[in-house]
Structure 1
Amino acid sequence: MKDADRDWFLVEETTDRRHWHPLIRALHDYWKDIAPPGALPGRQHMDPLDIPDLLPRVWLFDVVWPGPRFRFRLVGTRVVDRLGYDPTGEWLEDAFLDYSNYPSLVERYMATAENRRPTYRLGQQRLTRTRDFEFVENIFLPLAEDGRTVDMLLALSVLVDKSDGSQEE
């Protein structure tokens, strides 16, 4: 898949984040703040009490090597509500029947883990469809218990209304 064909990108230190949803910026800032010098943060660096307003929109995936493969570890209540069920404990490829129709989805998860860098996306929803919201804005952040080998992905999603650009509350 060519870069022009995908709707996500690897986040650089120089990436302009001014237009990101405030909740997306907040999680990205938190992730950067908890990172040890010169290393990736791990789950052990996170304290849910630091980000209570973000938790309903948070996804947490185990990254299993070799592969990598991705398993839902935690799915926030708001995400579960939008999906219509709780995929906690399921492998990504088993949780969604149309998984194979979206190679960019797989590439993004892999790119986040393999490059050890966040990815940002603003594009059409793929995993769920609602009448009110057609687009999603989200970020995927790598976590590494040893500071280097990605063993989890932390994500946050906000739904966006295509017609007027409004975001879910």
Structure 2
Amino acid sequence: MLSDCAFRAQLALPEQRVLFAYWHEIADGRAMPARADFDPLKFPHLLPHLGLIDLREGFDRGYYRLAGTRLRDIYGQEITGLRLPEVFAGRWATPWYGIHSRIATEAVCAQGVVRGPTDDREHVVLSWLRLPLSDDGVRVDRILCHDMDTGEADTGMATEFTAYYAALQEPEAARA
């Protein structure tokens, strides 16, 4: 797992750095903030790129509660209301399942860059960020998503890259 500074340094886009800094600020020392702490209107320019995965009915019943207008272009369909397996199917089902599952079970932040985030979308170079939210401060009940197609010009970026950050980590000495 990366430290706070190392994770922030891995964020590919300034919009992601702003969103992560805000998430960290509203967490206010907790492992993660609640949905009620997050005010999406603070960042109107990010709204088209934001999504909210709702896990309150359990991970296996997780679905996109909200999806910004640009997510339709990225995923090739309207994803609001769709369950995770309906969005992430085919060859991408397992990697996305693993990412979202780890966020849900370990309350970690995750980010990465991937070409073709779903089948038949190979022209999309997706820079993505996932941030856990929790109403009770313990169980991840929502995942805040930021997805942006960085376009063909950014093909020099890693095509399959994922990094994780946990707000509450054990000190290195305690793990040894």
Change (3 A) 1:130 1:97: closer
Distance 1:86 1:52 in 2: 20
Whether 1:30 aligns to 2:28 is no
Aligned to 2:81: 89
Q: Which deviates more, 117-126 or 16-25? A: 16-25
Unaligned runs of 5+ in 1: 1-9
Shift of 1:155: 0.8
Change (3 A) 1:67 1:80: closer
Give the conservation status (yes or no) of the 8 Å contact 2:125–2:155. no
Aligned length: 156
Secondary structure, counterpart of 2:127 in structure 1: strand
Whether 1:160 aligns to 2:145 is no
Distance 1:85 1:34 in 2: 32
Change (3 A) 1:33 1:109: same
Whether 1:15 aligns to 2:6 is yes
Aligned to 2:46: 54
Distance 1:56 1:74 in 2: 10
Change (3 A) 1:40 1:95: same
Distance 2:66 2:103 in 1: 18
Q: Which deviates more, 54-63 or 86-95? A: 86-95
| Structure with higher helix content | 2
Q: What TM-score, normalized to structure 2?
A: 0.76
Percent identity for Structure 1 against Structure 2: 27
Q: Which deviates more, 86-95 or 61-70? A: 61-70
Q: What TM-score, normalized to structure 1?
A: 0.78
Decide which of 44, 55, 74 is 2:66's aligned counterpart. Answer: 74
Shift of 1:57: 0.2
Decide which of 77, 101, 125 is 1:135's aligned counterpart. Answer: 125
